[in-house]
């Protein structure tokens, strides 16, 4: 079980649980540089684990994964998702089997990939109840050890930062 699971659920929900490389802060222990620039957008990008690609690329693309370090590009206007600092082909949004949050503005896109919180579901709950229960519900699952952001979230990390910032954006709009 991850060490974060000992933390109070409110701490996890506030996305304050990624400390000392524990828990949901997925750090690759490879010797490759910690960051690399996307070949298209030049965005400075963090390493992503190989197993994330193996779970999220379309089946016909799995064989194209090379034995190199991959990085995850977050730039909204760049269609590259995974690339390497070595000279191998990169993977775009077309090659990934789920819609990538940072690169797709649709309401049907997941913010939390483990427990199916889409933008639409979060918006709907806020419209109906005035607030979102998403981060607390997700935190309970994290605490129970049932999340698998490392293989279900395209960025290979905990979604709570994204959930909280999206909830904030929607709440500001509702109240503004
Ligand atoms: Zn890019």
Are 19 and 5 in contact by the 8 Å Cβ rule? The answer is no
Residue 3: is its pLDDT beyond 70?
Answer: no
Residue 60: is its pLDDT beyond 60?
Answer: yes
The pTM of this model reads 0.89
**Helix/strand/coil for 174:** helix
Torsion of CA 158, 130, 8, 22, to 10 degrees: 10
At 31 the pLDDT is 87
Of the CATH numbers 3.20.20.110, 2.20.25.270, 3.40.30.10, 2.60.120.200, which one belongs to the domain with range 32-97?
A: 2.20.25.270
Distance from residue 139's CA to the centre of ligand 1 (Å) = 30
Tokens 């519900």, located at residue:
137
Residue 135: is its pLDDT beyond 90?
Answer: yes
Distance from residue 103's CA to the centre of ligand 1 (Å) = 10
Average pLDDT over residues 104-129: 97
Average pLDDT over residues 31-56: 95
Distance from residue 78's CA to the centre of ligand 1 (Å) = 5
Distance from residue 125's CA to the centre of ligand 1 (Å) = 32
Residue 143: is its pLDDT beyond 90?
Answer: no
CB-proximal residues (5 Å) to ion ligand 1 = 38, 40-41, 43, 73, 75, 78, 80
Nearest to 111 by CA among 59, 163, 164: 163
| Residue intervals in the chain for CATH 2.20.25.270 | 32-97
Residue 167: is its pLDDT beyond 60?
Answer: yes
């Amino acid at each position: 079980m991850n060490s974060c699971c000992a933390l109070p659920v409110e701490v996890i929900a506030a996305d304050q649980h990624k400390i000392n490389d524990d828990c949901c802060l997925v750090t690759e222990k490879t010797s490759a540089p910690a960051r690399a620039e996307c070949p298209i957008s030049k965005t400075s990008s963090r390493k992503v684990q190989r197993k994330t690609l193996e779970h999220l690329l379309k089946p016909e693309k799995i064989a194209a994964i090379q034995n190199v370090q991959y990085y995850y590009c977050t730039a909204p206007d760049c269609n590259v998702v995974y690339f390497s600092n070595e000279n191998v082909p990169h993977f775009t949004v077309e090659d990934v089997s789920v819609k990538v949050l940072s690169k797709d503005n649709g309401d049907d896109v997941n913010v939390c990939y483990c427990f199916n919180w889409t933008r639409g579901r979060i918006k709907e709950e806020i419209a109906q109840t005035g607030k979102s229960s998403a981060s607390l519900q997700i935190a309970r699952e994290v605490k129970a050890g049932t999340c698998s952001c490392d293989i279900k979230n395209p960025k290979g990390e905990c979604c709570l930062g994204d959930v909280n910032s999206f909830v904030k954006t929607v709440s500001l709009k509702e109240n503004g």
